[in-house]
Amino acid sequence: MKKAEFKGSYPDYKVLPKSDLPEFAFIGRSNVGKSSLINMLCSKKDLAKTSSKPGKTQHIVQFLVDDKWYLVDLPGYGYAKISKDLRHQFGDMIQTYLMDRDVMNCVFVLLDSRLPPQKIDIEFIEWLGVSAIPFCLAFTKTDKLKPKELIDNIANYKAKLLETWEELPEIFITSANDKLGREEILTFIEGVIKTINSRERDF
């Protein structure tokens, strides 16, 4: 990655500009460390705005990376202090974007590695599967745990998912502080883009 730049913040899926470039979305419960992870991936400290108050991202935010693809920051879900109407609005915005945006190639679901499987995360992951939306899992804040704790927590999450899934999606272990997982995620994205380009050349 050579450059990443903010391109726009959109209050509704319908006003997103049309694009032929592939998009990769990032989403998770509020306070999961999404902004910090995005800044780490892009090597820019303040590209995505971090806040001590969860629920800050309330729009669909686009960042253009290397003039080749868009990193999309989606509103967090599950924050109790925002109104029910606003939560419903976020839900509609996220659902419409993920289901109808043709250039959205994969959504990274961020999970707090310090916590046991959360109901709202499991339900969202199940919805992605039912809706046939491609996704990966990215465990955040892994530097906050001892190695044994991290292994056990991720194993618990995998076991929970395997209760209903035959096969697990791609999983990334990340830490914004340690820059852990950056190379793996960017390599994965680059691989998807190469596959897309190869398919286009075949037509």
Q: Is the pLDDT of residue 52 over 50?
A: no
Question: What is the average per-residue pLDDT within 91-107?
Answer: 92
Burial letters 44-75, b for 16+ CB under 10 A, else e:
beebbebeeebbbbebbbbbbbeeebbbbbbb
**Region of 141 on the Ramachandran plot (φ > 0 left; ψ -120 to 50 alpha; else beta):** left
Q: For the chain, give the percent of residues with pLDDT over 90.
A: 73
- Identify which has the larger pLDDT, 199 or 87: 199
pLDDT confidence bin for 90, thresholds 50/70/90: low
Q: Is the pLDDT of residue 173 over 90?
A: yes
Q: How far apart are CA 110 and CA 103, in angstroms?
A: 20
Question: What is the average per-residue pLDDT within 3-26?
Answer: 93
Give residue 86's pLDDT. Answer: 47
Question: What is the average per-residue pLDDT within 131-138?
Answer: 97
Q: What is the 3-state secondary structure (H, E, C) of the chain?
A: CCCEEEEEEECCHHHCCCCCCCEEEEEEECCCCHHHHHHHHHCCCCCCCCCCCCCCCCCEEEEEECCCEEEEECCCECCCCCCHHHHHHHHHHHHHHHHHCCCEEEEEEEEECCCCCCHHHHHHHHHHHHCCCCEEEEEECHHHCCHHHHHHHHHHHHHHHCCCCCCCCCEEECECCCCECHHHHHHHHHHHHHHHHHHHHHC
Instruction: Kindly report the CATH class assigned to 4-202.
Output: alpha beta
Question: What is the average per-residue pLDDT within 158-169?
Answer: 95
- Identify which has the larger pLDDT, 188 or 54: 188
pLDDT confidence bin for 85, thresholds 50/70/90: low
Specify whether the CB–CB gap between 181 and 111 falls below 8 A: no
pTM for the predicted model, two decimal places: 0.90
Number of Cα atoms under 13 Å in the Cβ half of residue 171:
14
Give residue 202's pLDDT. Answer: 66
Give residue 104's pLDDT. Answer: 97
- Identify which has the larger pLDDT, 59 or 142: 142
pLDDT confidence bin for 83, thresholds 50/70/90: very low
Structure tokens at 54: 């969860």
Q: How far apart are CA 69 and CA 193, in angstroms?
A: 8
Sign, Cα dihedral of 135, 174, 25, 187: negative
